[in-house]
Amino acid sequence: MTAPKMRLAVLFGGKSAEHEVSLLSAHNVMASADPEKYEIVPIAIDKDGHWRHGPADVLVADPTDPAKVRVRKGFPEVVLPMGTGRPTLRRLSDGKSLGHVDCVFPVLHGPMGEDGTVQGLLSLADVPFVGSGVLGSAVSMDKDIAKRLLTEANLPNAPFLSVQRGEEERFSYPVVKKALGETVFVKPANLGSSVGVSKVRDEKTYRDALREALSFDTKVVVEKEIVGREVECSVLGNRDPIASVPGEIIPSHEFYSYEAKYLDEQGAKLIVPVELPEGQTKRLQEICLSAYRTLQCEGMARVDCFICADGEIFVNELNTLPGFTQISMYPRLWEATGISYPQLIDSLVDLALERHAERSGLRLSRASKEEEF
C-alpha cells in the first residue's frame, strides 16, 4: 500500500514590488516537486492581498515570462483558519473545506511575505512551513537591523548610514560623502531583488535615489561601495546548516539590478561553481554559515558577499526566501553541490517538519503537563 501524498501548499505572489518574481519562482517549485510524494495546493496572493486557489496550470498566466506573468482573476478566495487543529484550507464564500494542509512552502519575496508577517500567520495556524521563522525573517529582511547584528558579531559588512523618512536634510550628500566616500548605494531597507536600489556618485543623483528608495520604504540604507567580486553561497539547515559551493555574479549592467536579474537575459554572467584561491572557499563558507546563525535563519538562505582584491570578505545581505526561477542562484548552487531541485524541495520540507515538531513539544504555560490535561 502506497503512502498518501503530502499536501504541500505553495504560497506565492503577494503585495510587494517583487510579486512577479514570486510567480516565476513558484512555477518552478511546483513543476519540480516530486509528483509521487506531493499533492501541490497552489495558493496565489493577488496584488490586493487576497488568497486565491485554483489549478496551477490556469491560476497563473504566462508563468515563464517576467514581463507578462500574472495571477488570473475569478478564482475563489480562501483562508487558512487559526487554531482549528489540523490546518484546513477553506473557501471564504461559504466556509467549505478544500482539504487539509500538511506543510506550506512560502515562495514569497519582499514585504508582507518574506519579512516575518506571513511566517507569524502560519505559526498561529500551527502549520509547518518552509524557511525561517518570524525573527530570522524579520531581521534578515531589514538591512539596517541585519547589518547592526552582523557588525556586533564581528562579521565584516559595508559601512553604512540609516536614513528614516523625514531625515533627508540631515543626511545630505556632503554628509554621506564625508562618512562613506563619493560612490554609495542607496537601498530601501526592507526590499529585495534590487528594487529601488541606485548607485550614485553626485548630489543630484543622490537626491533622486533617496526619493526613489523612500517611495518603497520609510527607511533607507546608504552603503559605502565595496569593490570586489560578487560571490554567493546557498545555505540549508536548521541547527546544523551546510553551505553550498560558491558562485559568482558578473553583471553587465552598472550593478546587479532588477532588470539584470529578471528582464535582461544578458544582464549578468553566472559562474557556478566558481574557482577561488586555496582556502578562500572554506573561509567564505564559514562566514556565510556564521551570518546565517547570527541572523537566526532556518531552513534556507542565500548569503551574498564581496571578495576584495586583498582577499577580505564582506557580507552584503542574506535572502531568506531566495529566488527559484530558472536562473536563480540558490537552486543552481545546490545542483552544482550535488543536490537536485527535487531533492532540495524534499530537504526544505523535511526541515520545516523537523522544526514544527520540535516547537510543538514546547510548553505554552507554567502548568505541568498533567495539569494541562
319 among known catalytic residues = yes
Residue bearing the bigger pLDDT, 333 or 85: 333
Which whole number is the average pLDDT over 189-204? 88
20 among known catalytic residues = no
Identical fold, 6-130 and 229-339: no
Residue 373 has pLDDT above 50, yes or no: no
What's the 3-state SS for 164-175?
ECCCCCCCCHHH
* Mean per-residue pLDDT of the chain: 91
365 among known catalytic residues = no
Residue keyed to cell 507554567: 366
- Quick one: fold of 229-339? D-amino Acid Aminotransferase; Chain A, domain 1 (3.30.470)
- Name the pLDDT band for 3 (thresholds 50, 70, 90): confident
pLDDT in tens, 233-275: 999 999 999 999 999 999 775 655 555 555 555 667 889 999 9
**Which of 7, 52, 302, 355 does the annotation list as catalytic?**
302
Q: Indicate the SS3 state at residue 127.
A: coil
Instruction: Answer whether 213's CB lies under 8 Å from 196's CB.
Output: yes
Poorest-pLDDT segment among 159-168, 169-178, 257-266: 257-266
**Which of 16, 28, 193, 257 does the annotation list as catalytic?**
193
How far does the chain reach from its first CA to its final CA, in angstroms?
Answer: 36
How is domain 6-130 classified at the architecture level of CATH? 3-Layer(aba) Sandwich (3.40)
pLDDT at residue 253 in the model: 58
Domain boundaries, the chain: 6-130, 159-224, 229-339
How far apart CA 247 and CA 275 sit, in angstroms, is: 8
Q: Determine what percent of the chain is predicted with pLDDT higher than 90.
A: 79
How far apart CA 296 and CA 280 sit, in angstroms, is: 24
Q: Determine what percent of the chain is predicted with pLDDT higher than 70.
A: 91
How far apart CA 260 and CA 268 sit, in angstroms, is: 6
DSSP label at 2?
P
Residues sharing a CB contact under 8 Å with residue 215, sequence separation 6 or more, in sequence order:
196
Reading the block at residue 131, the C-alpha cell is 524557511
Which whole number is the average pLDDT over 168-172? 95
- The CATH class of the 159-224 domain is alpha beta
**Which of 20, 46, 114, 317 does the annotation list as catalytic?**
317
How far apart CA 24 and CA 263 sit, in angstroms, is: 12
Global pTM value: 0.91
Instruction: Answer whether 328's CB lies under 8 Å from 247's CB.
Output: no
pLDDT in tens, 72-128: 999 999 999 886 568 899 999 998 999 999 999 999 998 889 999 999 999 999 999
Residues sharing a CB contact under 8 Å with residue 360, sequence separation 6 or more, in sequence order:
126
pLDDT at residue 367 in the model: 62
Q: For residue 16, what are the β-bridge partners? A: none
